[in-house]
Structure 1
Amino acid sequence: MENRASIEERFQRDWGLEPPESIFRFWEFHQSLDADERRAMHDDLWLGTAGIMDLFADPGARPRDGIDIRVHWRFYRDPPEFLTFMTGGSDGLHYGLWFEDGRTCTGVASYYSNDGGGLDTSAATPLEAVRDYLERVWFDLDDPRHGEGATEARDRLRRLRDKLTAYETADRPEVGRAYSDRYHPPVIPPVDPDRITTLDSAGALVVGETALDRPAHNGADQNKFARYVHDLFQDAEAREESVADARGRCAAGDPAEALVLGRDLHWTSGGDPVREAHAHELLVMAYRALGRSALAEIADAHHRHRDLPSVDVLADQ
């Protein structure tokens, strides 16, 4: 890629993050699509590039005056760890590179910003995320309601799959339902001791004590946990006490509670300026204590621009 050096320099300068090799493979794949393959990607899968990929197309692109580039395609509930690169076709589905250590990408996260449910962090790379979605659509085309159009769509998707597997997942011969059953079976994921439970379902990469003695990621009944925390947040006095406790723990050298509570408040802010302010305070405090300055800066930028009417902040060319 002739622009690679410029893109890497831009990410380091503006985000303080290292773009992974997988995002360059994704861009090379996307640029290589012919007309039918592009139609399969955009019309049959309803997947399109967005966010940071706009800078791959134009590394010199600038935001509108007064707006921080780090909020380009940053949705209201996106955690600071999330960096959008692709959108889906319904209910605000979007995908982001996941930078939970504040420096390197550890995978891909996705969620529906206009619907329920939490973050899905099962895909390791952008192209794996595309393959996962392609196989779900492939299975859905078995529905007779799709009629004759299903045959044409399958022909396009087959070509798109062939193109994708030239880059990644060639070792996975299964298609459709068999693919999903093999690589993403509907089972409870294993407990992850390196992360602590959060409301957004992604877990927080941190070690320490928490006020609720939260279990490790995937170790809680997520529905019961969500009901308990939501009820707690409805009590303004209890919420203030929780924030004060997290603030004190972080000042004493343990940022775990500030991080998990900050993530929970961010996820459930719902336009409440008090929750937004508390989330911002705790996240910046926790990230700085953990040496994740890039995430602290992203959290700060998002707080300043959280009420923007559009996620697209680039200036007109």
Structure 2
Amino acid sequence: MDDERRRQGGERWAAAEGRVRREWGLQLPHSFFRFHVFLQGLGAAERRALADMDVAPVGISDLFDDPGLSARPDIDARAHGRYYRDPPEFLTFLHGGSDGLHYGLWSDDGSTCDGVASYYTHDGGDIDTGARTPLEAIRVLIERHWRDLADDDGDADHLAARRHGLELLREALTGLETGDRDETGAGYVRAYDSAAGPADPARVATLDGAGALVTGAAAPERPVHRAPGGFRFAQARYPLLDDPAGPARLAEDARRRLAHGDPAEALALGRDLHWASAGDPVRESLANELLVGAYQALGRSSLAGIAQAHHDHRDLPNVIVLGSHQGMSDGSMSDGS
């Protein structure tokens, strides 16, 4: 990358980072800057390989093309890129492929983004928090495709071109991150593509699978994140949320705890209700009430603001809020609700 491109990239980073800090209240990590250095340095062959994987920067990444993008009339800019089930901690930056796979920077404390999360909007499953940086997440995608090509018996020339493109992408990425990982394909996926880990007593279990970072006493039946019993908890929790009277009954206990200075269950139940809203206005409203109250009690005002902005615009047919506001039918950014 020549000096002029580096200068322009640095200016866009500073402008985008400043806007996210002012409007979202979040500090972008330097690993996100490396992600955009990676994108800016790609040649035509690498860009084709990225497109072949159906991978594209979206959401907050749009600010690197134009930090001054305006929001659609009467819509909060913080709703940009927010799929229906995205928790407030999740800040979309990448579309990752089929079934609505998308990636977000993750912020537990409402101040710094210190991780990456992903999930499939259209295909169920939990939120995966295994990657720590955007480039780690893309490296996993590269190696998944490399693994899958090994079992593909299609046209030999086409497969060779696909492999060459992935090799170029891998080379560009490992010059910035993960260069110490020699595994490729299935070996890499086995070694690094896993959200599983030991129980985390600093977090309580949530139905979205990501856990909530909070001190205090959650409801007795709620285990800590990744502890034994998490699956049984989810199996028991969903019927309660489907019961017409269940959400209000659970919320009353969380409300009482919050009023006495303990926001743990309000945060965790709010996340459960948000994840399992399924278009139900009662669950949507209770989720918003509990999340905003918990974040305010925890001093996470930026997440409270994002939660409210999302609640106000959860029914958007398309989550592209910033931009020219023309051609808004791109299915890759429909909310998936």
Q: 1:169 aligns with which of 170, 178, 184?
A: 178
Report the equivalent of 2:206: 198
For residues 126 and 146 of structure 2, the distance between their equivalents in structure 1, rounded to whole angstroms, comes to 24
Counterpart check, 1:29 vs 2:38: yes
For residues 234 and 197 of structure 2, the distance between their equivalents in structure 1, rounded to whole angstroms, comes to 18
Residues 41-190 of structure 1: pairs in structure 2 closer than 5 A: 41-43=50-52, 45-148=53-156, 149-184=158-193, 188-190=196-198
Report the equivalent of 2:24: 15
CA contact (8 A) 1:50 1:87 kept: yes
CA contact (8 A) 1:82 1:99 kept: yes
Report the equivalent of 2:268: 260
For residues 197 and 168 of structure 1, the distance between their equivalents in structure 2, rounded to whole angstroms, comes to 31
- Greater Cα shift, 108-117 or 141-150: 141-150
Q: Aligned-pair distance for 1:89?
A: 2.1
Q: Aligned-pair distance for 1:3?
A: 2.0
Partner deviation per Cα, 1:15-43 (whole Å, 9 max, x = no partner): 00001101111011101100000011111
Q: Aligned-pair distance for 1:316?
A: 1.4
Report the equivalent of 1:38: 47
SS in 1 for 2:283: helix
CA contact (8 A) 1:197 1:220 kept: no
CA contact (8 A) 1:200 1:267 kept: yes
Partner deviation per Cα, 1:44-65 (whole Å, 9 max, x = no partner): x211000011111100001111
Structure-2-length-normalised TM-score: 0.91
For residues 215 and 208 of structure 1, the distance between their equivalents in structure 2, rounded to whole angstroms, comes to 13
State the one-letter code of the partner of 1:96.
G
CA contact (8 A) 2:291 2:304 kept: yes
- Greater Cα shift, 95-104 or 231-240: 231-240
Q: Aligned-pair distance for 1:185?
A: 5.6
Residues 238-277 of structure 1: pairs in structure 2 closer than 5 A: 238-277=246-285
For residues 261 and 84 of structure 2, the distance between their equivalents in structure 1, rounded to whole angstroms, comes to 30
Q: Matched residues, percent identical?
A: 55
State the one-letter code of the partner of 1:275.
R
Structure-1-length-normalised TM-score: 0.96
Q: Aligned-pair distance for 1:178?
A: 1.1
Q: Aligned-pair distance for 1:200?
A: 0.3
For residues 228 and 245 of structure 2, the distance between their equivalents in structure 1, rounded to whole angstroms, comes to 25
Unaligned runs of 5+ in 1: none
Supply the RMSD in Å over aligned alpha carbons. 1.3
State the one-letter code of the partner of 2:294.
A
CA pair 234-212 structure 1, distance change in 2 beyond 3 A = farther
CA contact (8 A) 1:204 1:260 kept: yes
For residues 190 and 154 of structure 2, the distance between their equivalents in structure 1, rounded to whole angstroms, comes to 23
Q: Aligned-pair distance for 1:102?
A: 0.6
CA contact (8 A) 1:258 1:283 kept: yes
- Greater Cα shift, 224-233 or 11-20: 224-233
SS in 1 for 2:110: coil
For residues 291 and 220 of structure 1, the distance between their equivalents in structure 2, rounded to whole angstroms, comes to 30
Q: Aligned-pair distance for 1:248?
A: 1.0
Q: 1:216 aligns with which of 224, 227, 238?
A: 224
CA contact (8 A) 1:72 1:314 kept: yes
Q: Aligned-pair distance for 1:303?
A: 0.5
Q: 1:304 aligns with which of 295, 301, 312?
A: 312
Report the equivalent of 1:4: 13
For residues 184 and 274 of structure 1, the distance between their equivalents in structure 2, rounded to whole angstroms, comes to 36
